[in-house]
Amino acid sequence: MDTELPTHLWSLVKPRIVTLLSVTGAFSLLAAGGASVATLAGFVVAGACVAASAAAWNCWYDRHLDRHMERTADRPLPSGRLDHRVAAGFAATLLLIGTAVGLALLPARAVVYMLLGFAAYVGLYTVALKRRHWLGVVLGGSAGSFPVLAGWTAVRPLTVEPILMALVVFAWTPAHAWALGYVYRDEFASVDVPTLPVVVSTARVQRGIRYAVWSTVATVAAVVPFAGPPYAVTAALGSALFVVGFRPFLEAGTERAAVRAFFTSNLFLAVLFAAWGVGGVAPGLSPWSQLLSLAAVPALFVGMWTARPSLRGVPSSVGGEWRPVTDRLSAGMAAFRLRMAREYERPGKGE
């Protein structure tokens, strides 16, 4: 038996992506009012298996492409350490398990949304658009929206609130993906994958990300009237820190700033959905949740920036969070000194 097989199969499922999708889906279920432990566990298992299957099929389909990129060439499939037939069988098994668990423990409508997310990621993004158009990330972002709809409909029918939260994920995806794509743009270019940072200048990438950031903030704000106080407080703080985290890239366009923006976007989505879920199951804790958010959300962001996570050996940039404030204070003090100097130089003032 190949002792490395479990490790190879684990790498196919892209654990960080599956975790983030599971977080958004599970907290959506809680935001809808929560459910029994069995239903929640069934949702997490089913959703994680379906998402993991989509990730594995993505790796299987892209195995020839990945062979020519430095960051992916050493993965089990492109390196030849894992047989592609084993990978395909594993991906199919995950899909079957996820679907079976979902149908056994959840309403059918929730399973339908899970499968639509699978189809969006594998069919729309991986097969149809990734190698053909820079809009692949934008339209493929719909894949990340479906776990939100699945989580909510596991408890009750759709309303405006979960649809808006699904749109939050859709709006968030381009800024997140283009920040990552900017760091790896040379590798994507080498295999003719036309992600936005490959096909346009840095200035246009910055412009596209700026639109995506502010579209995300606007969509997040649109949810506030429907969600509880924990969400409102976290949305206000988190949106401000989300913008601050992207600001260095929008100004300088460096890879270090892009790494910072990428990890900022991950944290922002996670804390936003956590607050949304808390508001759904524990509205009575709202005052305490607000105090916790006021302390915890800035601490999480500043702690992450200080830790300086890295991609491809490129560390995240750090510092400059308060530069807009200090710049305004400095400009104000300079204007005040100039005004006082002019007053002093007026006839009769310096005698």
Residue 348 has pLDDT above 70, yes or no: no
Give the pLDDT score at 22: 93
Determine the residue type at 270.
A
Q: Is the pLDDT of residue 288 over 70?
A: no
Q: What is the pLDDT of residues 209-240, one digit of tens each?
A: 999 999 999 999 999 999 988 899 999 999 99
> What's the pLDDT at 339?
67
101 pLDDT exceeds 50? yes
The rounded distance, in Å, linking the Cα atoms of 179 and 319 is 18
Residue 151: pLDDT band (50, 70, 90) is very high
**Cα-based distances in Å from 220 to 32, 235, 263, 309:** 17, 7, 18, 26
Residue 324 has pLDDT above 70, yes or no: no
Average pLDDT, the chain: 88
Q: To the nearest whole percent, how much of the chain has pLDDT over 70?
A: 86
| Token pair for 227 | 């969600």
pLDDT at 320 over 60: no
Q: Return the pLDDT at 322.
A: 45
Helices 15-31, 160-183: axis angle to 10 degrees equals 160
* pLDDT at residue 318 in the model: 58
Q: How many residues does the chain have?
A: 351
Mean pLDDT calculated for residue range 102-111: 96
pLDDT of residue 140: 83
pLDDT at 351: 47
Question: Domain 1-158 carries which CATH code?
Answer: 1.10.357.140
Q: Are the C-beta atoms of 222 and 182 separated by less than 8 Å?
A: no
The amino acid present at 194, given as its one-letter code, is: P
Give the Cα separation of 274 and 271 in Å (integer).
5
pLDDT for position 66: 87
Two tokens, residue 66 = 């990945």
- Average confidence (pLDDT) over 324-347: 56
Q: Please tell me whether the overall predicted TM-score, pTM, comes out greater than 0.75 for this model.
A: yes
pLDDT > 80? residue 316: no
Distances (CA, A) of 263 to 1, 162, 268: 38, 24, 9
pLDDT for 327 beyond 70 = no
Q: In this structure, are residues 117 and 150 in contact, taking their beta carbons and an 8 Å threshold?
A: yes
Per-residue pLDDT tens over the stretch 268-287: 999 999 999 988 887 666 56
Give the mean model confidence (pLDDT) for residues 310-332: 56
Tokens of 189: 């270019």
- The answer to whether the beta carbons of residues 275 and 237 sit under 8 Å apart is no
Q: What is the pLDDT of residues 45-81, one digit of tens each?
A: 999 999 999 999 999 999 988 888 888 888 899 998 9
Among 107, 2, 104, 101, residue whose Cα is nearest residue 52: 101
Q: How far is CA 31 from CA 26, 71, 122, 138, 168, in A?
A: 9, 37, 28, 26, 15
Structure tokens at 142: 């719909």
Q: What pLDDT score was predicted for residue 69? A: 85
Residue bearing the bigger pLDDT, 155 or 310: 155
Closest by alpha carbon to 62, among 46, 47, 73? 73
Lowest mean pLDDT among 120-134, 150-164, 225-239, 304-318: 304-318
